[in-house]
Structure 1
Amino acid sequence: MLNVKTGKSINPNAAAAGKEAAAQVKADLSDMKVAFVYSGVQYNQKELLKAISDELPGVPLIGNTSFTGVVTPEGFISGDDGFVGIMSMSDKDLTVGVAGMPKEGTARETGHKLAEKALKAAGKTEAPAYFYMSAPSGEEEYYLKGITEVIGRVPFFGGTAADNTITGEWLLYTDEMVTAEGVSVAFFYTDKPFANKFTGAYNETDKAGVITKICGDRTLAEIDGKPALDQYREWTGASAEDVAGGNLLSYAICHPLAVKDRLGDLAAIRHPMNGNDDGSMAIGNNLAVGTAVVLMEATVDEIIESVGKTLEDLKKKMNGSIAALHLVHCGGRRAGIDSRINEVYDQVKAHADGIPFIMEFTFGEYGYEDDGNNTCGGLMLSFTAFGK
């Protein structure tokens, strides 16, 4: 039986916050196999994690900094001086291999090395049933490629570390490591059910075009031979000011782009993040020439309501009772929701129906749909259910 507990704190002292949050979950310590930890960048993360480890000795920790707060059954947890949320998982029949490492060589090489470390931590040689990943913004797809080289295509979930100001202060960590540039994973070995619902939950428009030029992996230069910003403005009716520089980041929350997987089961959102003077657009994930981008749309009301709808879709995918929910919610969506964030909590609370949960706010989301490949996206929801 999987037993899950959540804890939280907004104590301004990192060590005190860690101790307080961990104390709320330690009842099942004897069979505790892992604890997810999400916190504010205000804290000294090493002090926070040490305090948690002191309360939960021998329990692997994994997580990252979250954008402005976390959501637990107690509400939206946030504080000017810091915040932390914990979700522990206890089950005598569960094995979890947690590993993290700073970047060594390329991101792909690092992912490969890390997967080998996680197998060793689990005491296994075979691939896990599923895995969790945390990484910084920029090379998520390459870390994933390196991990896949070792274990093959295994369902995954997780998200990209975030900060409160989009200034690169984010960190990811385990109980043994804190880094701004690296990757961490948790490999899960269990025969209990698991499901992931990965979606942008946007409405697809009839406006689409072929990517005809990119610069690097993440700069969209041309759509159908036109400067990308010009085509985007034509589709959306945005003004030049709407898409200038960092203004595009906010404007695109309700008007993002998407790329579809080969069967059309998943529209992976590509968040336009900066409008460049040369008419190109910085995008939050990798792109490829010759593929189509589709304009997507949603109102703030729809973005909020999608939380409950996605939870219902997730519950339908599960084959058995749900013990816990791990909810990755894009920080960009959270920024667009702004002061209405408690409505997101209301959605989760109502649709979770008493199931323990934790929600983090990320700068990139990871998941999969049906038989498609593991995918990294932005402005998305990656909702995961663990069976009892």
Structure 2
Amino acid sequence: MKIATSHSCQPDTLSAVQESCRQLRHRLAQDPDILFVHWSVLYPGEELRKLLADQFPDCRIHGASSCLGGMTEEGVFSQDGRGMVLMGLADPQGAYGVAGGKLGANTRESAADIVLEAINNAGRPGEMPDLVRISSAPGYEDDIITGIETVLGPETPIIGGSAADNQVRGEWELITHRQHLRQGLVITVFYPSTTLSFAFHNGYSPTQAKGRITKGAGRVIEQIDHQPAALVYNDWTGGIISSALENQGSVLADTTLYPLGRVVGEIGGVPYFTLAHPDRVTAGQGLSLFADIKEGDEIILMRGTVETLISRAGRVAQAALQANRLTPEEISGAMVIYCAGCMLTVKDRIDEVSQSLNSALGGKPFLGAFTFGEQGCFPSGENRHANLMISAIVFGPTR
């Protein structure tokens, strides 16, 4: 396997595609078998798709828009909200399949159909993939994971990130080599010639504040311990959303360092958590989130800092290496998902995140996106959707 990345911040889509594809061809020294691309929405998705398909007509493409730009081993690429990053994989002994589609009335059925189409596109019907990578419009992620698991079972790791725009206006986009989508899903199935390792973590610690959801459904908590959820949360955090309690405003930027956690499992007696990011105070003083909840769930207030959000990226990459006892010298490259909310919180120091990853991965090529939701596989094998998370996939030695 050979992996290379490229990038551009050129002001127009044609120039950006030409520059990044020229870089990629030079570094890869051949056309890729599959291309992954993340871009800010200032580059129109359908134009981008057509230009990339013209550049690489025989290549599968998996693409999702990313908040403000993206990152590679060479740094973070975003100028005035504009940036594009590409990763090409040349792996003639492996197989990869890509499929996409709109999400209809039954998201689970749509996801099941799309993953089967991706498997057929890889030329491996009836064969379980080593890993499934997903990109989707925000809001559907939990049902997408359930739908994929109805086909593959819970053992196949599912890792990905939700498409993002620059200002949470619903302008996110997705592409394959054949399609441009908005409220859709793109799936790639991996049958690589190399081993794969991965990790899925967050940069937060639990506090002493906790309670139980006594009323709520979907992505809204109405009550915690029979009290209005927004009031309870505001009390837990020392009043950080006080200004939004009367006008039901957005609290997304205020709550990034204080998400709500739920225990997924334990390793060595130490619990690990899935996170939900509070988004808005509702009319009934509830809290809307970027992840699904259920009545009866126990929730714990989590606490993060800018320092932990920066350092955690490299530690997640190290965990992915350690999962298969790999050294950076043994890998071909990596794919990283870094939450857009975390990125915006550490924005003035985002280059340090790229440097942290670069150090952990020994300078090997990596592709990074800034997403509006993260999907990954926890240490005990649970595929989950969460917020404010970081994931890494590393491509190890040839099998």
The two structures share one fold, judged by TM-score above 0.5: yes
Match of 2:181 among 179, 183, 187: 179
> What is residue 13 of structure 1 aligned with on the other side?
12
Residue 294 of structure 2 aligns to a residue in which SS?
coil
Task: Identify if the C-alpha distance between structure 1 residues 370 and 273 changes in structure 2 by more than 3 Å, giving closer, same or farther.
Answer: same
1:240 to partner: Cα distance: 4.8
Alignment map for 1:195-234 (pairs within 5 Å): 195-215=197-217, 217-234=218-235
Q: Deviations over 1:110-159 (max 9, x none)?
A: 10110121121011122201110001111111122112211222112110
Q: 1:375 aligns with which of 376, 384, 392?
A: 384
Number of equivalences: 386
Cα deviation for residue 340 of structure 1 reads: 1.8
Distance in structure 2 (CA, Å) of the matches to 1:233 and 1:284: 18
Partner of 2:166: 164
The alpha carbon displacement at 1:65 in A equals: 0.6
Q: Distance in 2 between matches of 1:54 and 1:223?
A: 53
**Distance change in 2, residues 1:246/1:72 (3 Å):** farther
Matched, 1:359 2:368: yes
1:174 Cα offset (Å): 0.9
Contact 2:135–2:186 (CA<8 Å) still a contact in 1? yes
Contact 2:265/2:273 (<8 A) preserved: no
Question: How many Å separate the matches in 2 of 1:265 and 1:25?
Answer: 42
Q: Does residue 75 in structure 1 map to residue 75 in structure 2?
A: yes
Q: Which one is further off, 274-283 or 315-324? A: 315-324
Per the alignment, in what secondary structure is the counterpart of residue 186 of structure 2? strand
Partner of 2:190: 188
The one-letter code sitting in structure 1 at the alignment partner of 2:191 is Y
Q: Distance in 1 between matches of 2:303 and 2:93?
A: 44
TM-score (ref. length: structure 1): 0.95
Report whether the alignment pairs 1:384 with 2:390: no
Please identify runs of 4+ aligned residues in structure 1 that moved more than 6 A: none
Give the drift of 1:331: 0.3
Answer yes or no: is the 8 Å Cα contact 2:263–2:274 preserved in 1. Answer: yes
What's the CA shift for 1:25?
Answer: 1.8
- The one-letter code sitting in structure 2 at the alignment partner of 1:257 is L
Task: Give the Cα separation in 1 of the matches to 2:278 and 2:241.
Answer: 14
What does the per-residue CA deviation read over 1:208-244, in whole Å, with 9 as the maximum and x for residues that have no partner?
11111104x1001111111111211221112553554
Aligned pair in 2 of structure 1 residues 105, 230: CA closer, same or farther (>3 Å)? closer
Deviates more, 1:31-40 or 1:155-164: 31-40
Same amino acid, percent of matched pairs: 29
Residue 339 of structure 2 is matched in structure 1 by 330
User: 250, 268, 271: which is aligned to 2:274?
Assistant: 268
Distance 2:2 2:287 in 1: 45
Structure 2, gaps ≥5 residues long: none
Q: Which amino acid aligns with 2:21?
A: A
Match of residue 305 from structure 1? 311
Question: Are residue 285 (structure 1) and residue 291 (structure 2) matched?
Answer: yes
Say if 2:65 and 2:164, in contact at 8 Å, map to a contact too. yes
Task: Call closer, same or farther: CA 1:327–1:81 in 2, change over 3 Å.
Answer: closer
Segment drifting more, 326-335 vs 307-316: 307-316
SS of equivalent residue, structure 1 residue 266: strand
Residue pair 1:22, 1:55 contacting (<8 A) in 2 also: yes
**Paired residue for 1:138?**
139
1:314 paired to 2:323: no
CA displacement at 1:29 relative to structure 2:
6.8
Q: Give the direction of change, closer, same or farther, for the CA distance of 1:326–1:240 in structure 2 (3 Å limit).
A: closer
Residue identity matched to 1:69? G
Corresponding residue of 1:98: 98
Query: What letter corresponds to residue 5 of structure 1 in structure 2?
Result: A
